[in-house]
A and B are shown apart, each in its own frame.
Chain A
Amino acid sequence: MDSLIPLFVIIPLGIAFLIPLIWKLIPSVFKYLPATGILFLLVLAFYILIANGNETLIYKVGGWEPVKNVPIGIHLVVDGLAASMLIIINLIGFLAGIYAIPYMKKFTGENYFFVLFSLMVAGMNGVVITGDLFNMFVFLEISVISSYALVAFGSSKDELEASFKYQVLGGIASLLILFALAITYWYTSTLNMSDISHLLKQAPVNKVTIFIQLFLIAGFGLKAALIPFHAWLPDAHSSAPSPISAMLSGVLIKAIGIYALLRLFFNMFRVTYEISIIITLIGVLSMVIGVILAIGQWDMKRLFAYHSISQMGYVIMAAGIAMIILAKGGNRNIAILSLTGGLFHMFNHSVFKGLLFLNAGSVEYATGTRNLKDLGGLSEVLPVTSATSLGASLSISGIPPFNGFFSKLIIIIAAIEGRFYFLALLAVIVSIITLASFMKVQRYAFLDKLKKGGSNIKEVPFLMCFSMIILVILCLVMSLMAIPGIRETFLMPAVNSLISLKM
């Protein structure tokens, strides 16, 4: 089972390198290649999570054994959190891959699209499974560079400008991360994460680790578009082709933004009080300001993009609360509960936000416009899209049967138990505003009377409906993960890899 881990990177890379050679020979078949490869990886990730949930698999690339217990090669580490992230990445990647096949028919250069798409998935898989700092940076760069090119794929006026801003800010973020990496190497002169965490555990928390952590917060905050650094997200996510904005908002800002932050701040550095205050503050700010900015939007995808910022604020706030409790040495299982809520919300968010962007894409595919003002009454004409969009809107605003409700509930309970009453109140208020703004989307886009000339709109092709239906079913099924019985196998391994449950 160990030697299967590199497959998560070899298969998507192999497909990406194969397509430019064979796309002329099999012009219509090569489009299905990335989706099938990612489907196989999805099954593999699921199997890894089930087979050994709580213990970590370590794979030494090149077979270099540590010398005098100093690791010299690159180690691939797959633990609970990495396995669940792999499931999410490959799930949304598979569904967006299927959705993209009919959607990309109106673009030329489809072979470039599918090459860059499978490279993005390979990059994200690489970031999640690696245990080496610089290797995480290299695979982060692969996924980010392919997302720059994919955002600018349509090369219209808006997309080029959005992609340029996204690339400049993303470039600065990568350089800040590289700078933090250089100082870490200067301080510990090694790159292996577990090796660094051993060294940092022994040394007292001094100015160097604070300095490194500040730069990492700035770098990964820019990547995850948290509040002080969110300027690029609405432009980039709204002007990208829809399967790509579903991948960007659903998975990319999580796999290389939030996941890297959590992995470094929980596993590598010692949790300090000041840093956890900063992280909670950023989380709360993103949550509140994200939803306030979202109210005034009329373009569907831009509205969804702002909501991504506020939902990510939930996850970071929950992680921040857990860090504060750990730093103050408070009650451990409140911290565990808060982190469970945060991770559960992150997994839910990638499912329903991916679905929302796919809905916006099919509305745009069918009617040609995304502006809520000149849409209306689409539910008669687009039955599947409106049904799935209703499901997604209910789950993002936290209505009981859907998964959004359970994860927000856990976060609010944890906040109350940790005596952060103000944060819990803010979380409830923001959830209500989210509900209001998504009702606006439902009313203007789907429930109103049909605009003139709207009768000849026909439903989107089968593959697009297929991926949307699967996502809406998942929105319901994932709410079962909150039940204690099922939670142990699916959710707890992820939490266990950040805060060990046994102690």
Chain B
Amino acid sequence: MKGMTSIVKKVSALISGLVFLYGCYIIFHGHLTPGGGFAGGTIIAGSFILLIIANGIQYFRLKKEKEESSLAEGAGILFFLLFAAGGLLLTAHVFFRNFLPYGTPGNLLSAGVIPLYNIFVGIEVAAGLLSIFLAFVIYKKED
């Protein structure tokens, strides 16, 4: 199959921006509305996958992307672990302590460290699923 028609390419370019934005919304409002790090991360990965499917593989120089995405994934989860262990080292000597102030429940900056966990897990899930998809796609293209 030569590749998608230009209509699909144009429409997917527009939509994937929206999907990416929606994923970020889900991550940042993880502690207020349903969803959270995992759901938002998958949605962001979905937006990148949509772009790659629509525009074909040679559109991106994908060999390098795969290394970066697994790099980003390692970084995402490393910060998640550091913050979790931070509770152990810094304040209350207890693993997974919620040491930031809670703020008033209901508005965006509340629930202490949970929004940060959401963001780190979101980065990790998005980069991880992207690496898996790239590994499958590149493997097929190479030989």
Contact = CB atoms under 8 A, between A and B. Distances in A.
A–B contact (CB under 8 angstroms): yes
Given A21-B71, A21-B78, A10 B85 contact: yes
A12 to B, nearest CB: 11
Given A10-B85, A17-B81, A21-B78, A61 B94 contact: yes
Consensus secondary structure, chain A interface: helix
Contacts of A17: 74, 77-78, 81
A432 interface: no
B20 interface: no
B71 to A, nearest CB: 6
B71 A10 contact: no
Contact of A21 (B75, B85, B88, B98): B75
A62 interface: yes
B74 A62 contact: no
A13 B85 CA distance: 11
Contact of A62 (B77, B78, B85, B97): B97
Contacts of B81: 10, 13-14, 17
B133 interface: no
Interface residues of B, number: 18
Interface in A78-101: none
Interface string B93-109: 11111100000000000
A63 B71 contact: no
A61 B95 contact: yes
A124 B93 CA distance: 24
Contacts of B97: 62-63
A3 interface: yes
Contacts of B94: 3, 60-63
A21 B92 contact: no
| Candidate in B70, B73, B78, B93 with the most chain A CB atoms within 10 angstroms | B78
A14 B89 CA distance: 14
A19 B77 CA distance: 12
A110 to B, nearest CB: 15
A461 interface: no
Nearest to A5: B95
Given A6-B88, A14-B81, A20 B74 contact: yes
A387 B47 CA distance: 59
Contacts of B78: 14, 17-18, 21
A62 to B, nearest CB: 4
Contacts of A61: 94-96
Interface of B: 70-71, 73-75, 77-78, 81, 85, 87-88, 92-98
The 9 closest A-B pairs by CB, nearest first: A20-B74, A63-B94, A62-B96, A17-B78, A6-B95, A21-B74, A3-B93, A61-B95, A10-B85
22 contacts: A3-B88, A3-B93, A10-B85, A10-B88, A10-B95, A14-B78, A14-B81, A14-B85, A17-B77, A17-B78, A18-B74, A18-B78, A21-B71, A21-B75, A59-B95, A60-B94, A61-B95, A61-B96, A62-B87, A62-B94, A62-B96, A63-B94
Interface of A: 3, 6, 10, 13-14, 17-21, 59-63
